[in-house]
Amino acid sequence: MSHTQPASAADLPQVEHLSCAIRDGVAEIRVSRPERRNAFTNAMYRGLSDMLVALDRIDDVRCIIVRGSNGIFTSGSDIRHFLDMGAAERDSHFLLVADMLTAPSRISKPVIAAVQGFALGSATGLTAACDLAIAEEGSTFGLPEVAVGLWPCTLLPALIRAVGARKAYELAVLGERIDAQQALAAGLVNRVVSAADFETELARMAGRIAGSSPVVIQMGKRAFQQALDTEFHTATRFMGQVMALNSATEDAHRGISAFLNRTKPEWTGK
């Protein structure tokens, strides 16, 4: 992919079964492969990673949504291709999955998983890997790989981060599906919303992020990701240093002044 900063959705990578629209600071990536319940191919894994990285370079994008289509998030990897893979192809496939799962944490813009219907296998992993997740009532999650003789190794680091080691292991070893309320209780998703309210709540969440200071949101996400993998005392000191930098930004001064004057801040992104 070119290192030139993309200016709009038209400059993003063109990937079959993936589309992207940008509106009011929110980029929406949509997975659409209805004939295979939105199952991912290698090209789709690579394309989603590339698209997330490219969107991170577009200044007008403040928040990213990843969602499915036709009432399905995605059913995970298209395992039909596994039978004919050679050793090199297997290595390449799982590296692409790993790259996709780490992409949300490698970029500075918050990523929301908008889950409707099935979110199985690597889709459960993607849900865990995103910064936030909202699920429609009736959605289904799970790691069914063990039923076909596979262990979902690549997915587990993201699951462990989201739900903890014990629950992640349970999902992997039992291969059982869980519903949206169970996913909420486990910490896999942040909110469960009725079908009637799903689009409204999704737009509200994304709009809240897009309406905040971009420099603060992006600085905060980078610091949050680094703190996740850092020893507690070191992380706390590090976050204090980030807070000092944050409080020195122009947007922080604007935000505090607006609060004191009971006005709405106008963010500069500086």
pLDDT (tens digit per residue) in 187-202: 999 999 999 999 999 9
Q: What percent of the chain has pLDDT over 70?
A: 96
* Cβ–Cβ under 8 Å, residues 112 and 206: yes
Q: What angle do CA 211, 250, 246 make, to 5 degrees?
A: 85
pLDDT for the residue numbered 4:
52
Tokens matching residue 197: 């309210």
pLDDT for the residue numbered 268:
84
User: Residue 67's Cα: distance from chain center in Å?
Assistant: 10
Strands (E), the chain: 18-23, 26-31, 63-67, 111-115, 118-120, 132-136, 140-142, 177-179, 191-193
**pLDDT, tens digit, 9 for 90 and up, residues 221-268:** 999 999 998 999 999 998 998 889 888 888 888 888 888 888 888 888
Distance CA 42, CA 244 (A): 42
The domains of the chain are located at: 9-210, 214-260
Question: If pLDDT is split at 50, 70 and 90, which confidence band does 77 have?
Answer: confident
pLDDT for the residue numbered 3:
47
Average pLDDT of the chain, as a whole number: 91
CATH 3.40.50 fits 214-260, yes or no: no
Q: Would the pTM of this model clear 0.85, i.e. be above it? A: yes
Question: If pLDDT is split at 50, 70 and 90, which confidence band does 6 have?
Answer: low
Question: If pLDDT is split at 50, 70 and 90, which confidence band does 39 have?
Answer: confident
We find that the CATH architecture of domain 9-210 is Alpha-Beta Complex (3.90)
Question: If pLDDT is split at 50, 70 and 90, which confidence band does 137 have?
Answer: very high
Grouping H, G, I as helix, E, B as strand and the rest as coil, residue 119 is: strand
134-153: average pLDDT: 95
pLDDT for the residue numbered 262:
87
109-123: average pLDDT: 96
What single letter denotes the amino acid at residue 252? A
196-216: average pLDDT: 96
Question: If pLDDT is split at 50, 70 and 90, which confidence band does 78 have?
Answer: confident
205-227: average pLDDT: 94
* Cβ–Cβ under 8 Å, residues 26 and 210: yes
What single letter denotes the amino acid at residue 146? V
- For the cut 80, the answer to whether the pLDDT of residue 54 exceeds it is yes
Instruction: Give backbone dihedrals phi and psi of 121, rounded to 5 degrees, phi first.
Output: 60, -125
